[in-house]
Amino acid sequence: MTEVIAAPSPLGAPPPDNILLDVRNLKTYFKVLDGVVPAVDGVSFSLERGKSIGIVGESGSGKSVSALTMMRLLDIPPAEIRDGEIWFDGREILHMPMEEMRKIRGNDMAMIFQEPLTSLNPVFTVGDQIAEQVERHKKVKRKAAWDRAIESLQLVGIPSPERRVKQYPHELSGGMRQRVMIAMALSCEPKLLIADEPTTALDVTIQAQILELLKTIQDRTDSALMLITHDLGVVAEMVDNVIVMYAGQVVEQGTVDEVLVNPRAPYTMGLLESIPTVEKRGGRLSAIKGTVPNPFNMPPACRFEPRCPYAWNLCAETAPDLYPAGPHGQHARCHLHTPAGAPRLPEALADHERKLNVGHGIS
Amino acid sequence: MESSTTPVRPDGPPPATPEVVVEGGADVTEMDPLEIARVGAGKTLLQVRGLKKHFPIVGGLLRRQIGTVYAVDGVDFDVNSGETFALVGESGCGKTTLGRSVLRLIEPTAGQITFAGRDISHISADELRPLRRKMQIIFQDPFGSLNPRMPVSDLIGEGLLAQGMKDRKARDKKVEDSLELVGLRREYTRRYPHEFSGGQRQRIGIARALALGPDIVVCDEPVSALDVSIQSQVLNLLLDLRRDLNLTYIFISHNLSVVQYFSDRVGVMYLGRIAELGSVEQLYKDPRHPYTVALLSAIPDPNPRKRKKRLVLKGDVPSPAAPPAGCRFHTRCWLREKLGNPERCVTEEPQLRNFGGGHQTACHFAEEISADTVSSAVETQSVLETAVADPV
């Protein structure tokens, strides 16, 4: 991993103290043989201490790459940080030396991955793996670290933790492994917990267990939560704020109550419309036409324009910014929320409302 | 699989002629000398009785059988012509094994399968082959289920060839028609799987199943691997095809929202058995099995204003190699706990009982389930105690 990224000069001012994480205009590109993939292309958001944020998007939208960039876990090259700053707990972390970053990672900032089996080391016991990072970060003796591991397992509801710490990952079920991952992440009392699709690989009833567990832990500890998922249902239940990503960009952001109930970006509208519900039985689902754009050949202006039911000529000519689109700080990347698009907005919203509630066409 | 040099069996289908006119794109009756009476809509098309599939576990130096996985362990259900029958359950409940056993893609251990009035549970491979075109399957994984070395023409054409359509031109025409049917371009026949997106690959899988003009299609998690926006496109396609081609689906899924939208009747499976069976309305409005109640409660609702407290089941699904005695669900059952752990759940295996209108439930205490019992169970549960100690 190449460690040095030339720091932009000068860095911006640090955010106010209540902001734990402030991501500013982050651009992570991948340089590959066929060209350059703008995986994350100008993403900005912030997260208050103790609060939660969800990042939603389909595969390839850039949500996982954003998190990995934040953790400084990407290989550079092929990844390339084109621009941006990330302020975490009062310090800029995107350009700090890797030794400094290692002190933060796993300590103040911890991550839960999607695949618990591949993220745990098969040749060490669960206790060894948790104790190792406690020892390193908290500078405590082995015995104290080991006790800490048992405590963390207890915190995530694993029965008889003093025996479980001596087990290897293969001796545990999928749900138990995910609990171990969470215990490991929590063992150093992080200020920020990043969960990347934490329940996607799990069965429905186990997913329910893990989601309830994450909620309880968030209530009991002061850590902030960043939840990355493609499941709008999981987001609706778990977080305060949400950002919706499409083709490397944020297309909508706001509180979950606003974004998932009154979506203002056509992409979010389309996602919600396409969810099968009982009301739509007997009719066809409303589907977003086409597929996500080829990352080597993004649409020149609005990236959603080729699939958008409300697009007009402006959308193919000028790229939209994130415009204010509702109360409580809701923003949408769509020309409908500019003076030029205003006359078209009521019709688009009415159309969304109609598609949301009934299936259309006779089946 | 027959090669083109194999002589035509006297009783086999005659080679198709290039002039075959295809209507609707998926009708191969022209090459179908077989007498399978088309079952009228609403009549029983497929009947399954006492179906079991046990897999041996072999181990030790001598590779002796040291155990048995009871993947499907005594399942009865009917599928009516023209309906979508869903099988739901968690991984390891046997839904996929059941779907494949019904088509005899894996040999059932015991039980009877009747398709269009004909017992197919013991007929020979030769007798089965012509029936295969009436029973097709769509697989979950659009990446693993298409041979990366085969162009689309072969991927779809292989089945046609096996069914005796030896004329290359006729086969290619049929392949193109099938592609068109699922919304892909006719020119795609020369392309290979890697040239397609996940959604397009799933369409190829569907085209492959439909090329033979089946009556019944087993859809094994057809949209689970797809993104939300693509999922709805594929579900719409399946709905359109069902209507246009009078198809009957067995829809295997773990996603209860999709099942509720897509199917007519549902069988909820747990550890190789059907726990509850009924119409979508019956099951989703008035679930009578504590497992169904918990599954429904576990669905995350995308409307944040409908946030609810959910009923969380304890522990994991036990191993199908050692299913619990009595009721298989008793180790995780919230209702049993609520009722003071009655002995009957451990000693006696519940059978499916009728609750009217085809609604059946395998629970001794199904009458005890009400909105009150559910909400009091939700109130008293402890989220941190949901991990259950299996033997360390």
A2 confidence band (pLDDT: 50, 70, 90): very low
The confidence score (pLDDT) of residue B62 equals 81
Distance from CA of A92 to the nearest CA of B (A): 34
User: Could you report the per-residue pLDDT of A233-282, keeping only the tens digit for each?
Assistant: 889 988 999 999 999 999 999 999 999 999 999 999 999 998 888 888 87
The confidence score (pLDDT) of residue A20 equals 92
The confidence score (pLDDT) of residue A10 equals 60
Q: Which chain B residues are within 8 Å of A281, Cβ to Cβ?
A: 260-261, 280
User: Could you report the per-residue pLDDT of B379-392, keeping only the tens digit for each?
Assistant: 877 766 666 555 44
The confidence score (pLDDT) of residue B184 equals 87
Q: Which chain A residues are within 8 Å of B300, Cβ to Cβ?
A: 207, 211, 231, 233-234, 236-237
Q: What is the mean pLDDT of residues B195-221?
A: 90
User: Which amino acid makes up residue A216?
Assistant: T
Q: What is the mean pLDDT of residues B232-246?
A: 89
Q: Which chain A residues are within 8 Å of B280, Cβ to Cβ?
A: 281
Q: Looking at the complex, does the CB of residue B224 fall below 8 Å from at least one CB of chain A?
A: no
Q: Which chain A residues are within 8 Å of B230, Cβ to Cβ?
A: 291
Q: Looking at the complex, does the CB of residue B37 fall below 8 Å from at least one CB of chain A?
A: no
The answer to whether the CB of B143 falls within 8 A of the CB of B205 is no
Instruction: Region of B312 please: left (phi>0), alpha (psi -120 to 50) or beta.
Output: beta
Distance from CA of B80 to the nearest CA of A (A): 18
The confidence score (pLDDT) of residue B392 equals 41
Q: Which chain B residues are within 8 Å of A204, Cβ to Cβ?
A: 90, 254, 256, 295, 298-299
Q: Pick the residue of A177, A203, A255 with the most B CBs within 10 A to test the interface with B by mutation.
A: A203
Q: Looking at the complex, does the CB of residue B264 fall below 8 Å from at least one CB of chain A?
A: no
Q: Which chain B residues are within 8 Å of A233, Cβ to Cβ?
A: 299-302
Rounded-to-integer distance, Cα B250 and Cα B46, Å: 10
Q: Which of A212-216, A350-354, B379-383 has the lowest mean pLDDT?
A: B379-383
The confidence score (pLDDT) of residue B265 equals 95
Write the DSSP symbol of residue B333.
Answer: -
Q: Which chain B residues are within 8 Å of A209, Cβ to Cβ?
A: 312-313, 383, 386-387
A58:B256 CB<8 A:
no
Nearest to B303 among A160, A209, A236 (CB): A236
The confidence score (pLDDT) of residue A1 equals 41
Nearest to A176 among B298, B317, B387 (CB): B387
The confidence score (pLDDT) of residue B8 equals 38
User: Could you report the per-residue pLDDT of A304-316, keeping only the tens digit for each?
Assistant: 999 999 999 999 9
Distance from CA of B146 to the nearest CA of A (A): 20
**B361 - beta bridge partners?**
B276, B353
A205:B240 CB<8 A:
no
Total residue count of chain A as it appears in this document: 363
**B347 - beta bridge partners?**
none
Scanning chain B, the segments in alpha helix (DSSP H) are 95-102, 125-132, 152-162, 168-181, 198-210, 228-245, 256-262, 280-285, 290-298, 334-338, 344-347, 371-380
The answer to whether the CB of A70 falls within 8 A of the CB of A194 is yes
Which helix (H) or strand (E) segment is B343 a member of?
none
Rounded-to-integer distance, Cα B130 and Cα B13, Å: 8
Q: Looking at the complex, does the CB of residue B21 fall below 8 Å from at least one CB of chain A?
A: no
Beta-carbon pairs below 8 A across chains A and B:
153
Smallest CA–CA distance from B200 into chain A, residue: A291
The answer to whether the CB of B70 falls within 8 A of the CB of B323 is yes
Rounded-to-integer distance, Cα A122 and Cα A102, Å: 23
Distance from CA of A362 to the nearest CA of B (A): 9
Q: What is the rounded radius of gyration, in angstroms, for the C-alpha atoms of chain B?
A: 23
Smallest CA–CA distance from A235 into chain B, residue: B302
Q: Judge if ipTM > 0.85.
A: no
Nearest to B301 among A176, A203, A233 (CB): A233
Q: Pick the residue of B96, B201, B232, B388 with the most A CBs within 10 A to test the interface with A by mutation.
A: B232
User: Could you report the per-residue pLDDT of B244-278, keeping only the tens digit for each?
Assistant: 888 999 999 988 889 999 999 999 999 999 999 99
- The three-point CA angle A62-A66-A68 to 5° equals 115
The confidence score (pLDDT) of residue B286 equals 92
User: Could you report the per-residue pLDDT of B71-94, keeping only the tens digit for each?
Assistant: 999 999 999 999 999 999 888 888
User: Could you report the per-residue pLDDT of B97-140, keeping only the tens digit for each?
Assistant: 999 999 999 999 999 999 988 899 888 888 888 888 899 999 88
The confidence score (pLDDT) of residue A226 equals 94
Q: Which chain B residues are within 8 Å of A58, Cβ to Cβ?
A: 227-229
Q: What is the mean pLDDT of residues A284-296?
A: 84
Rounded-to-integer distance, Cα B322 and Cα B326, Å: 12
The confidence score (pLDDT) of residue B361 equals 94
Rounded to the nearest integer, the mean pLDDT of chain A is 86
DSSP notation for B277-321 = EEEHHHHHHS--SHHHHHHHHHSPPS-GGG--------S-PPPTT
The confidence score (pLDDT) of residue B303 equals 85
Q: What is the mean pLDDT of residues B216-240?
A: 88
Residue found under tokens 């693509």: B230
Query: Which residues, numbered 234 to 253 in chain B, qualify as contacts with chain A under a Cβ-Cβ cut-off of 8 Å?
Result: 235-236, 239-240, 243
A278:B260 CB<8 A:
yes
Q: Which chain A residues are within 8 Å of B299, Cβ to Cβ?
A: 204, 233
Q: Which of A258, A226, A228 is nearest to A332 (CA)?
A: A258
The confidence score (pLDDT) of residue B384 equals 62
User: Could you report the per-residue pLDDT of B6-59, keeping only the tens digit for each?
Assistant: 443 444 444 443 343 334 444 444 444 344 556 666 788 999 999 999 999 888
B2 confidence band (pLDDT: 50, 70, 90): very low
- The three-point CA angle A170-A175-A179 to 5° equals 90
The answer to whether the CB of A270 falls within 8 A of the CB of A228 is no
Nearest to B302 among A275, A280, A285 (CB): A275
Whether A64 shows a pLDDT value over 80: the answer reads yes
Q: Which of A182, A186, A197 is nearest to A68 (CA)?
A: A197
Q: Which chain A residues are within 8 Å of B229, Cβ to Cβ?
A: 58, 270-271, 274, 287-288
Q: What is the mean pLDDT of residues B224-231?
A: 83
Q: Looking at the complex, does the CB of residue B254 fall below 8 Å from at least one CB of chain A?
A: yes
Residue found under tokens 């902030």: A224
Tell me the two tokens of residue B138.
């769509």
Q: What is the mean pLDDT of residues B170-188?
A: 89
**A92 - beta bridge partners?**
A87
Omega cis (within 30) before A10: yes
Q: Which chain B residues are within 8 Å of A277, Cβ to Cβ?
A: 257, 260-261
The answer to whether the CB of A333 falls within 8 A of the CB of A250 is yes
Smallest CA–CA distance from B235 into chain A, residue: A285
Rounded-to-integer distance, Cα B248 and Cα A258, Å: 41
Q: What is the mean pLDDT of residues B363-392?
A: 76
Rounded-to-integer distance, Cα A298 and Cα A60, Å: 13
Q: Which of A112, A110, A113 is nearest to A192 (CA)?
A: A110
Tell me the two tokens of residue B272.
């190789």
Rounded-to-integer distance, Cα A249 and Cα A40, Å: 6
Q: Which of A199, A159, A33, A9 is nearest to A95 (CA)?
A: A9
Q: What is the mean pLDDT of residues B180-209?
A: 88
Tell me the two tokens of residue A211.
């989601």
> pTM of the predicted model, to two decimals?
0.83
DSSP notation for A311-331 = --HHHHHS----EE-SSTT-E
